[in-house]
Amino acid sequence: MERSALSAIYSSLFGISALGALAFVWAAPGTSPAQKPEGDWRLLEPVTYENISIFPVVASRGYDTAAFLTLDEGLSSGDVMVSEQGATGLVRNRDGRPTTPQYTGASVNQLVLVNRSKRPLLLLAGELVSGGKQDRIIAKDRIVAPGADPLPLDVFCVEHGRWSSGAQFSASKTIVHPSVREKAAVAQDQQEVWGAVRSGTTAAASPSAPAARLSTRELSSVIASDAHSEAYDKIYQSRAVGGSIDSFVEEVQRRFSRATSGLKGERVVGVVVAYGGEVAWSDIFASGDLFDHYWSKLLRSYAVEALARPTLREVASSESAREFLRSLNGREIQESEPGVYRWREITEGKLALIELDTLQPKLMTLHRLLLHRTS
């Protein structure tokens, strides 16, 4: 691959054209650059099991992301509060004055979030918050400034059938699997989110493809017997489904740990995921610490998707994984909050790239999601 093309990829990955702080190079298989600049970034050989291949993405240096609070941490500590619209009481705004949010009644696709911590809060599309009138997932990657006014938070419901008072919203330490996450992050359609929860995967399969270990019929049976409200957590933690997921995750994690345990001077900052021979998904973070925080629930999400897809045993090539990360040329949309974050999405054919940049304390891309859309 030409150096100019590689530079475009790295600029897209981490916004380094604006920063100039890190340089990234590809280490082609079997080669060793004469001089490696700080911040080397490369793909390792895939970790494979049944129909999944996971390519670790490693870097010799990442950004300092210790200042950021994650949703799980914030909800667990009480520094972050999520509630139904109309249920939030008196809160303090940016300058310390008490205020009461002015919202009408509860809404399926909007909650209220208050970040009471002194740290910016990182939210990822597909993260699950459990409780309230229905379990919900975050609709988009974003950052919530510390001490910000109560935020109307866009969400999608993943518990079709219940609309009644439940427990206070809490951290579920769950991120929904790629088919559902795609419908939230890219399609942004509630009906499609529910459809992906019910079907397991939205990826098309040929009639001759081997059957999936987790079929739509099995999911329907679980819904009928164990999860009458079609709650995401209940479906995927049921005995009929959860046992298969747990054993799958355990084996992949064992292989992944073995493949990445010998790293010297490098950290895993992300992964590229393939199902059968199809490279389908990638999550890359600004630091190894951020990746470590999200890894366990990301791995479980990838495993759910693998079990719902045909049991094809092809292994995607490293070249295909590298090609998957090429820079995209297509329709681009951006959203931003001045001084806090910038979000952008680029779509080209079946590929969709979503990047979340923090603007403070310095510009960096905290999370990069790239996916091959299933529809």
Instruction: Count CB neighbours of 362 within 10 A.
Output: 11
Q: How far is residue 73's CA from residue 171's CA, in Å, rounded to a whole number? A: 8
The boundaries of the domain holding residue 317 are 3-65+244-372
Instruction: Count CB neighbours of 264 within 10 A.
Output: 5
Regarding whether 205 and 105 lie in a shared domain, the answer is yes
Regarding whether 268 and 211 lie in a shared domain, the answer is no
Q: How far is residue 311's CA from residue 308's CA, in Å, rounded to a whole number? A: 9
User: What is residue 31's predicted lDDT score, i.e. its pLDDT?
Assistant: 34
Does some domain include residue 113?
A: yes
Average pLDDT over residues 82-87: 82
Regarding whether 205 and 271 lie in a shared domain, the answer is no
Instruction: State the Cα torsion 30-31-37-39 to the nearest 10°.
Output: -20
- Is the confidence at residue 56, as pLDDT, over 50? yes
Does some domain include residue 146?
A: yes
Regarding whether 264 and 322 lie in a shared domain, the answer is yes
Does some domain include residue 165?
A: yes
Counting the structural domains of the chain, the total is 2
How many helices (DSSP H) and strands (DSSP E) are in the chain?
Answer: 10, 20
Kindly give the pairing relationship between strand 69-70 and strand 121-123: parallel
DSSP SS3 for 127: strand
Regarding whether 27 and 95 lie in a shared domain, the answer is no
Q: Within 13 A of 50's CA, how many CA atoms are on the CB side?
A: 21
* DSSP character at residue 33: -
Question: pLDDT class for 226, splitting at 50, 70, 90?
Answer: low
Question: pLDDT class for 271, splitting at 50, 70, 90?
Answer: very high
- Is the confidence at residue 95, as pLDDT, over 90? no
User: What is residue 69's predicted lDDT score, i.e. its pLDDT?
Assistant: 97
> Which of 33-42, 86-95, 142-151, 249-258 shows the lowest per-residue confidence on average (mean pLDDT)?
33-42
Q: How far is residue 352's CA from residue 350's CA, in Å, rounded to a whole number? A: 7
User: What is residue 24's predicted lDDT score, i.e. its pLDDT?
Assistant: 32
Does some domain include residue 183?
A: yes
User: What is residue 105's predicted lDDT score, i.e. its pLDDT?
Assistant: 55
Q: Which residues contact 324 (CB under 8 A, 6 or more apart)?
A: 272, 279, 282, 370, 372
DSSP 304-346: HHHHHSB-------HHHHHHHTSPP-SEEEEEEETTTEEEEEE
Quick check: bond before 37 cis, omega within 30?
no
Regarding whether 256 and 224 lie in a shared domain, the answer is no
Regarding whether 172 and 195 lie in a shared domain, the answer is yes
8: which 2 tokens? 């475009």
Regarding whether 327 and 364 lie in a shared domain, the answer is yes
Does some domain include residue 239?
A: no
User: What is residue 106's predicted lDDT score, i.e. its pLDDT?
Assistant: 65
User: What is residue 30's predicted lDDT score, i.e. its pLDDT?
Assistant: 35
In contact, 57 and 9? CB cutoff 8 Å: no
Using the 3D structure, point to which of 234, 252, 287 is the last residue of a domain: 234
DSSP SS3 for 72: helix
Return left, alpha or beta for 147; rule: phi > 0 is left, psi -120 to 50 is alpha, else beta. left
Regarding whether 306 and 365 lie in a shared domain, the answer is yes
- Is the confidence at residue 333, as pLDDT, over 60? yes
More confident of the two residues 350 and 226:
350
